[in-house]
Amino acid sequence: MSESQPQAVYLKDYTAPDYRIETINLRFDLDPEATTVTSRMEVRANYDPAEGRRPFVLNGQELELVSVSMDHDPVGDEGYEISDDTLVIPHPPAHFHLEVVTRINPSANTALEGLYVSGGNFCTQCEAEGFRKITYFPDRPDVMTRFTTTVVADRKEYPVLLSNGDRIDSGELEDGRHYVTWHDPSLKPSYLFALVAGDLACIADHFTTMSGKEVKLELYVQYGNEDKTEHAMRSLKKAMRWDEEVYGREYDLNTYMIVAVDDFNMGAMENKGLNIFNSRFILAKPETATDMDFVNIEGVIAHEYFHNWSGNRVTCRDWFQLSLKEGFTVFRDSQFTADMTSPAVKRIDDVSLLRTRQFAEDAGPMAHPIRPDSYVEINNFYTLTIYEKGAEVVRMIHTLLGPERFRKGSDLYFKRHDGQAVTTDDFVRAMEDANGVDLSRFSHWYEQAGTPRVEVERAYDAAAKQYRLTLRQSCPPTPGQPEKAPCQIPVKTALLSREGAALPLRLAGESQAGGSERVLVLNEPDQTFIFEEIPAEPVPSLLRAFSAPVKLEGGYSDEELAFLMGNETDDFNRWDAGQQLALRVIVRLIEGAPRELDRGLSAAFGKILADDRLDPALVAEALALPPEEYIAECMDEVDPLAIHEARQFVRIALAETHHEALAARYTALADPGPYRVEADAMGRRRLRNACLAYLVQLEGESERAFAQYEAAGNMTDSMAALVALVHNAAPRYDEALQHFYQRWHEDPLVLDKWFAVQAAAPAPGALERVRKLLDHPDFTMRNPNRVRSVIGAFVMRNPAGFHRDLAAYTFLADQIISLDRLNPQVAARMLDPLTRWKRYDESRRNVMKEELERILRVPRISSDVYEVVSKSLAA
């Protein structure tokens, strides 16, 4: 980038493109260091030419321009204007053909945007603005065209040549080269373009759609990984069938391809018909992948497949609308995973991520609405707010409308906007029009940053048998938004008798009761809901299934939370009651309460542990204490070490008090049969390993963990034992680490686990351990997975280890400066811990701020890092 300060882009400045690209024909002559790209476009004015000619502006970065021709005639230097990031044709006709030839160096592309080389293979990543690093083009999502792509390469080195759409031609050329031509019949923006070339193994299968069409399924991996693809292929077929059954969406092309690559900034990319995946979301077998890996692979494959409609067939008009495709698709993949596994556990997993990380994002300097007003670098807005909070907003519409009416709305949305680039307003309008409802108040969720708070006031009138719930909403100020309008908040509610029964509900003004659960819609700053014929004061069950992404202040006593842990009929709320009770206990310890185990928490823990009627996966979640990151979000000033010590005290006290029960449950859950990727088997392993995590903290129990490590026939049990040993610095943990490395050092994805388990260990000396890991011969800054497994695990998953030594802040700043020269996207994402510098004590705060200021002084800092640092300092 130039030395000038990066400039913001604003939603209010959006205008439609001046030109349409009717078609584009691309030819790639592949060479690792000098690839030639020839682009032939048919261009037509998107305005009234009678008003005067407008310049045609094409985006381009890090390109060597070879030639420009218009309507087959060369264009000299005087016929165009070129800068660091644009090529401008000043006065083109209203309809013309433009040929642009560029040259690029894929081997030098360490940022992994555009066309680059990974493991000897060519691949692309064009979202959000990577296509401009391939050739000059109006690189914006509302410029949609039909692509025809010819890929030319040495046949011996690159026998596989892939791009979007259907293969329409292929042949041999002189000098041992060959070519394949692909045509994509669908209109698509440049961010959905993809190309892969290399020597890859192909695993083929097929799928019959609901209309009877046969679709070829092709999964490409490096040779030697073929035995790790069965789960991915099975997951793809399950996702295709589910999307037909639940949303009525059928796949449209003749072939669906997935390619797994080792070097990838994201998890995966939904390029039309040719998905490119980070290999960790494809490759899995029981010996090398954990249960959570299997679940994540299934979910990510489903996510990218669902994008075929919610993102590709209907795409976003501009990058401010990113949640249009991502929020909707995350909601869809969450539904899918809930159907494939345990709905309650999936909901708990989603909300845990939201509370520990997205709520923190909402409270930090990078807070933004799910439809931002501005950005400096769009890569910084691939955030949990866009994805996870965006999904929660779609979920609220689903809650308000119900499944059948939501399906009517989605059907209209896809029908109305197929082949278009649209906005979040268009999505909401389709829901309104299909169902005759008014969701205008709902727009505030898209426009406002921050996490709303809902405060509850309760009153019971025994004489009148009336129960009053008053709900008050507020939202704290965020950068640029000091005042907030009230949102439309669905609060799913039940009332429980003191015996634990859900009561029939009749609101004032209704003639009869209407079931035992209601969705109370909070539209105003405060509203009161009156329930009639309530025989005795109940315990309210509020925000069931986490029906809105808010912070609930329900005014519960410790006794009521313990009651809900034992009697709640909503699985999510039962879990949440335990989390809130444990949170209170830990916070009181941090504030100086006597170091003793809370009796109510201990009793509830024991009751859940002993209840073998419950889903084991749900029990495992219920036994887990709130993570340190979530505890930090609930405190005004964060003391990471005090949080860690208080939480550890409760964990050890629970383990000591329930030692026999934990050991008995651990033994009873042993699975004598073969490993199965099924919900019940995964739930049993989840609970058994949760018991082990408690037990290994006690003297004499490390041998149990080491025995499990030695006997484990699957990666789930192996990793659970290794984490238990390493994170507790238990006897023989180093022996286990050495054994693990010797066995798996040639498998990159498993080796990432070995690095991460050490970087996330909270014991003293964490910084020095991480420094040594960076010097390990298997560590490289050029692979994002490896960076995340060491630096990311240390700074984002090890709060006690990271914050114990102030020198860690200097360490992180050094790594960000180094990374920024290689891969600005990854560097910017590592900044997160420093952005919250104001929430810590003075000594930590001062060093964090100094390091942010030092990063900002680095010459030629990327726009990715500049935006995060400057906003953090200005907040």
Q: DSSP class of residue 442?
A: G
Domain boundaries, position 339: 330-447
DSSP3 helix / strand / coil % (the chain, rounded to 5): 45, 20, 35
CB 574 within 8 A of CB 568: yes
**In the structure, what pLDDT confidence band is assigned to residue 819 with cuts at 50, 70 and 90?**
very high
Query: Would strands 73-74 and 160-163 be described as parallel, antiparallel, or unpaired?
Result: unpaired
The count of domains in the chain is 2
Q: For all residues of the chain together, what is the average pLDDT? A: 97
Domain harbouring 349, CATH code: 1.10.390.10
Residues 431 and 338 in one domain: yes
Residue 357 structure tokens = 């990380």
User: Mean pLDDT, to the nearest integer, of 443-469?
Assistant: 97
Over the stretch 743-756, which tens digit does the pLDDT of each residue have?
999 999 999 999 99
Give me the count of residues in the chain: 875
Q: Are 233 and 206 in contact (CB under 8 A)?
A: no
Helix (H, G, I), strand (E, B) or coil at 818: helix
Give a yes or no: residue 547 inside a domain: yes
Average pLDDT for 348-361? 97
Query: At residue 289, does pLDDT exceed 70?
Result: yes
pLDDT at 1 over 60: no
Do 515 and 423 share a structural domain?
Answer: no
What single string gives the DSSP state of each residue in 67-86? EEEETTEE--GGG-EE-SSE
Q: What is the 3-state secondary structure (H, E, C) of 148-217?
A: EEEEEEECCCCCEEEECCEEEEEEECHHHEEEEEEECCCCEEHHHCCEEEECCEEEEEEEECCCCCEEEE
Does 843 map to a domain? no
**Domain end (from 422, 447, 472):** 447
* 8 A C-beta contact, residue 203 and residue 219: yes
CA-wise closest residue to 196 among 219, 162, 171, 164: 162
Percent of the chain with pLDDT over 90: 98
Residue 602 CB neighbour total at 10 angstroms: 16
- Tell whether 382 is covered by a domain: yes
Residue 830 CA to residue 114 CA, distance in Å, equals: 22
Pick from 554, 588, 622: which residue ends a domain?
A: 554
Q: What is the DSSP letter of 790?
A: I
Question: Which pLDDT score is estimated for 5?
Answer: 81
Distance in angstroms (rounded) separating the CA atoms of residues 222 and 118: 11
Q: Are 390 and 370 in contact (CB under 8 A)?
A: yes
Q: Report residue 328 as tokens.
A: 């909707």
In a domain, 829, yes or no: no
Residue 469 falls inside a structural domain: yes
Nearest-CA neighbor of 201 among 282, 126, 269, 135? 282
At what angle are helices 715-727 and 748-759 packed, to 10 degrees? 30
Confidence of residue 3 (pLDDT cuts 50, 70, 90): low
In a domain, residue 149? The reply is no
Specify the DSSP element, H or E, that contains 870: helix 863-874
- CA distances to 284, 360, 824, 847, 852 from 867, rounded to whole Å, are 37, 18, 11, 20, 12
Evaluate if pTM is beyond 0.85.
Answer: yes
Q: Is the pLDDT of residue 2 over 60?
A: no
pLDDT tens digit sequence for 519-555: 999 999 999 999 999 999 999 999 999 999 999 999 9
pLDDT tens figures, 555-582: 999 999 999 998 999 999 999 999 999 9
DSSP run (H or E) holding 122: strand 121-125
CB distance 65 to 36 below 8 Å:
no
Catalytic residues: 304
List pLDDT tens digits, range 445-455: 999 999 999 99
Residue 547 sits in a domain of what CATH number?
2.60.40.1840
In a domain, 424, yes or no: yes
Give dist(CA 595, CA 130) in Å, integer: 55
